[in-house]
Structure 1
Amino acid sequence: MLEIQEKNCFYLFNFDAPKADQQRFFSPEFWQEKQRILGSAKGRGTTWFVHSEDLFGVNTALRHYYRGGLYGKINRDRYWFSSLENTRSFAELYLLARLHQAGLNVPKPIAAKVEKTGLCCYRADILTEKVENARDLTALLQTEQLTQPLWQEMGKMIRKMHDLGICHTDLNAHNILVQQLGNEQKVWLLDFDKCGEKSGNDWKADNLARLHRSFLKEVERMGILFSEQQWHWLCAGYNGDV
């Protein structure tokens, strides 16, 4: 990782040698000037998709960190600064790097930015791989039944993450992607903001239960095609019973 400071901004790059204009990689306007914007997605803020395969080996997703809930209406995007390692973007980039190196299907980490504002606050951005030809699991399950091997693969992926001691604090059906690669499908895990290492084992069952509740919620809310049989397949993959 290449770490750079420029005035009140700190940058973390997942490449060895500096690149031209790298401090501007976190500006949507920069990519628009270069005519590299592929599209965008609306959530808490806007995620911009960038044509960058020639630069990083993959196309990328640029995301600014925004607060949610009632507090987010007062303070939209500023966070308390304690250390660089604990900032939202640096922590997520380091975690993605660890999971990526361990062979999990997570977006490749590219770069992170922290901008200190005032004495004790910061704003943050992150640049990660755009998973191509992929759909949110809940969107897919509105029209398609997934195969038993794919549900088992989902369970194996979560188990591998848990075996590394990593708790995905927002593990839900929306943070799982299914990528279509020809006639094959591949499962990806997303959104590791505020996630990290956790000791012990009791939390693992709670983490799985959280995911199960999210499936049941989306059956009611979105009418997704999900049954207890499919959950058993996922758990079989998790427990190695395949």
Structure 2
Amino acid sequence: MEILRSKTEVIWFEPDLLNMPPDMSFEAPYWLVQNKVVGSAKGRGTTWFVQLDGLQGALRHYRRGGLFGKLIKDQYWFSGWEKTRSFQEFALLLHLRKKGVNVPRPIAARAIKFGPIYTADLLSERIPNAQDLVAKLQQSSLSRETYKTIGRQVKQLHLAQVNHTDLNIHNILLDENDKAWIIDFDKCSEQAGDDWKVGNLARLKRSFLKEVKRFGIHWSEEEWEHLLSGYNTL
């Protein structure tokens, strides 16, 4: 990791993955002019999918949710560069990859300070040919072995002592080889102990139940047991 630093801006980046001036990599118009935008997705804001050398990236500007987010859309209280949401997620992805968890490679993160507040951006790897579990399960059921693969990845996450505070089936992907990936680590962190892991799993199960009602996904309670079987093998 390398760092570009000024009084009002810090950029952390992986030079082996970023083949352009780091400050330009967070600007959607730059990618559009270069004709390197390959897609987008809507959430709280727009995530831009962009083409780098040898991989695609997902460019996201941090935005607030909830009622407070309607008043202050993208500004956060500054309490130190390494406490910014962009750096925290960048560093957490590096930690998880070292621990063997399948998560996107972090490419670059930025924080810009305006007096007592800051805004933040993250450019991370887009997993090629992957869909989230909601999309997959709308099409068909998954095999027992695939559920075990998902369970093992969740266990790897927990062995790394990382609490994914929004662990749901929108944030678990399967690629074309049915390899499981976990994404979206904003506001997540390392956490000591084990008690929280039960709640983490319960949240994940609730998301399956929720999407059965919302989207009619192909899922049953029996398949949850297959996931737990994978989780408990590590």
The TM tier, using the shorter chain, reads: over 0.9
Which residue does 1:197 correspond to in 2? 190
Aligned sequence identity (%)? 48
- C-alpha separation between the residues in 2 aligned to 1:172 and 1:78? 26
- C-alpha separation between the residues in 2 aligned to 1:68 and 1:170? 13
1:108 to 89, 97, 105: 105
Structure 2 counterparts to residues 44-193 of structure 1, below 5 A: 44-52=44-52, 54=53, 57-118=54-115, 120-180=116-176, 184-193=177-186
| Per-residue deviation, residues 100-144 of structure 1 (Å, max 9, x unmatched) | 1222111111000001012x1000000000111111111110121
* Alpha-carbon spacing, 1:173–1:19, altered in 2? closer, same or farther (3 Å): closer
- C-alpha separation between the residues in 1 aligned to 2:206 and 2:168? 8
| Per-residue deviation, residues 162-182 of structure 1 (Å, max 9, x unmatched) | 0111110000011011111xx
* Alpha-carbon spacing, 1:17–1:190, altered in 2? closer, same or farther (3 Å): closer
- C-alpha separation between the residues in 1 aligned to 2:150 and 2:165? 17
* Alpha-carbon spacing, 1:141–1:37, altered in 2? closer, same or farther (3 Å): same
The answer on whether the counterparts of 1:2 and 1:16 sit within 8 Å (CA) in structure 2 is no
Q: For residue 17 of structure 1, report the CA deviation from its aligned partner.
A: 10
- C-alpha separation between the residues in 1 aligned to 2:180 and 2:19? 31
- C-alpha separation between the residues in 2 aligned to 1:142 and 1:59? 25
Q: For residue 20 of structure 1, report the CA deviation from its aligned partner.
A: 4.1
Scaled by the length of structure 2, what TM-score is found?
0.96
Which residue does 2:217 correspond to in 1? 224
Q: Which amino acid aligns with 1:43?
A: G
Ranges in structure 1 where 5+ consecutive residues have no aligned partner? none
- C-alpha separation between the residues in 1 aligned to 2:77 and 2:166? 21
Which residue does 1:237 correspond to in 2? 230
| Alignment: residue pair count | 234
- C-alpha separation between the residues in 2 aligned to 1:46 and 1:7? 28
- C-alpha separation between the residues in 2 aligned to 1:122 and 1:67? 12
The answer on whether the counterparts of 2:104 and 2:183 sit within 8 Å (CA) in structure 1 is yes
The answer on whether the counterparts of 1:4 and 1:11 sit within 8 Å (CA) in structure 2 is yes
Scaled by the length of structure 1, what TM-score is found?
0.93
Q: Which amino acid aligns with 1:93?
A: F
- C-alpha separation between the residues in 1 aligned to 2:182 and 2:112? 27
* Alpha-carbon spacing, 1:70–1:18, altered in 2? closer, same or farther (3 Å): closer
Q: For residue 32 of structure 1, report the CA deviation from its aligned partner.
A: 1.1
- Secondary structure in structure 1 of the residue aligned to 2:113: strand
